[in-house]
Chains A and B, each alone.
Chain A
């Protein structure tokens, strides 16, 4: 006699089936809830704010990028010195930051701004200097595991151009922050006829007229740290080790007296201490766009010495010293027959009056200007 009693009753099967079908249906529906919750969406404004703070309030750091790819062989990260904007190898830059110092948030350094905005799209592994979008910026300013795309734009008030890095801002959802900043420019000294004739114009019977410019680094670094700028002095300071130093000497063709000469022979420029001859790579004559090749050279009316960030100290001297003297030597080529055949005519000469002081005196030196600007960061 066959027994058609099974272990499981039909009743059980029916009930269990209904339960399982309902369970499967609910289980497949619930993950649909999670689709609307994209983690990165919520983060955009926070990442944009953080990037804004890093760029505007932090001076940046040189060194190895934390967690980045190893530097190519031959590049020694452990001996990196100097600020990040002067590193020629981008592997030696750990973090971007445009502020002049950590005590001057909101005041940006123009050298840092110029370096930051040098970017390309292609990631050429042989290009160690230009930054490539987006990877170099993600590692040094945006941070985070997710590869955010971004656009960073800077506009200086009064200028038409907008410098920007990155993609065009999309129509949809993106995180955004806007910061108002000031950009610190460089100081410069324009030594024109008025200044020269007041103090540095003399009639010496010499074969060569000598004009010296004195940078008293101790005074330059120390004088500005007085009340009320003990904290934010770096926004007003002339630091020969970090800032651009520009010296313009003009109106040279009007200075010869009694006989006027159209050209003068600039025979050499040296930097003391060390008596190093200054390479002609920083000397621009008569408004030429390229530096003069070699000295001696003939000058008609202007000489410009343009030392980019810190080069007046780093490139030009064997021995670092708190006192710098830049000496220009003008050779008197022909004796002047009208003055008894001697060399004695009036010209630019600082031997009697003392060197020209490059300091915080507003009459001599144009102080670093602060220009207003707007920085916008968009992240998506």
Chain B
């Protein structure tokens, strides 16, 4: 009375169910939802902040004087730069300061048409591996003679600041 003839559909149905369940299990295990606070967003926020701060330092206080950044580059006053930049970039609307570290250098063109940099401000704190740093730059026109360049003349230089969050 009992024979094996009727097992065809059952076995196929079973196999299909098994396949679906295995796939569902794999899918649920594999997709992980990243939190939005990933590195690109915090890099963007830091870059915007750094650009704003540099632009502010490069704005003259009135129509006739030169900008503070011009004076700083011409006199190579790294400490003044550090002070001003630190105040601007770590300012918040809530009380208390933010913790952003930075270092700055100035890139210029030498007489043989290659590019070289001098340090404007050494790092405010050592940069350890694994920290994301962003670079922002600002163009300034200064009248200055650099060590290995030809003469005192008006030149365009690039002030570059590397920023990272503590």
Contact = CB atoms under 8 A, between A and B. Distances in A.
A367 B64 CA distance: 11
Given A11-B10, A15-B10, A33 B28 contact: yes
Interface of A: 9-19, 21-23, 25-26, 29-30, 33, 36-37, 41-42, 44-45, 49, 52, 56, 105-107, 153-155, 157, 162, 164, 173, 175-182, 224, 228-229, 232-233, 235-237, 360, 362, 367-370, 372, 374, 376
Given A17-B13, A26-B24, A33-B31, A182 B59 contact: yes
Nearest to A176: B45
Contact of B62 (A23, A162, A232, A236): A236
Contacts of B23: 26
Given A26-B20, A29-B28, A178-B49, A14 B13 contact: yes
B127 interface: no
Contacts of A370: 59, 61
Contacts of B45: 45, 49, 176-178
A362 B127 CA distance: 45
Contacts of A37: 33
A18 B10 contact: yes
B74 to A, nearest CB: 15
Contact of B9 (A9, A49, A175, A360): A9
Interface of B is mostly: helix
B113 interface: no
Contacts of B61: 369-370
A70 to B, nearest CB: 37
B89 A180 contact: yes
Contacts, number: 132
B49 A21 contact: no
B48 interface: yes
A181 B52 contact: yes
Contact of B6 (A11, A29, A33): A11
Contacts of A106: 52, 55-56, 59
B115 interface: no
B9 A180 contact: no
B1 interface: no
Contacts of A153: 93
B88 interface: yes
Among B41, B55, B93, max chain A CB count under 10 A is at: B93
14 contacts: A15-B12, A17-B13, A30-B27, A107-B59, A155-B93, A157-B87, A173-B36, A175-B36, A177-B48, A180-B88, A229-B63, A362-B64, A370-B59, A370-B61
A26 B21 CA distance: 7
Contacts of B13: 14-19
Given A33-B28, A153-B93, 4 more contacts: A14-B13, A17-B13, A26-B24, A29-B28
B152 interface: no
B7 interface: yes
B156 interface: no
A154 B93 contact: yes
Interface string B122-151: 000000000000000000010000000000
Nearest to A106: B55
A367 B88 CA distance: 23
A15 B9 contact: yes
A106 B28 CA distance: 47
Given A12-B9, A14-B13, A182-B59, A372 B48 contact: no
Nearest to B36: A42
Given A14-B9, A36-B33, A29 B24 contact: yes
A92 to B, nearest CB: 30
Contacts of A56: 52
A36 to B, nearest CB: 5
Given A18-B17, A19-B13, A33-B28, A11 B8 contact: yes
A233 B44 CA distance: 29
A105 B14 CA distance: 67
Contacts of B16: 19, 22
Nearest to B8: A11
Contact of A30 (B12, B17, B24, B55): B24
B143 to A, nearest CB: 13
A130 to B, nearest CB: 22
Interface string B45-80: 100110011011001111110000000000000000
Contacts of A369: 61
Contacts of A180: 49, 52-53, 56, 88-89, 91
User: What 7 A-B pairs come out closest when comparing CB atoms?
Assistant: A15-B13, A22-B17, A15-B9, A11-B6, A236-B63, A180-B52, A12-B9
Contacts of B33: 36-37
Nearest to B89: A180
A369 B65 CA distance: 13
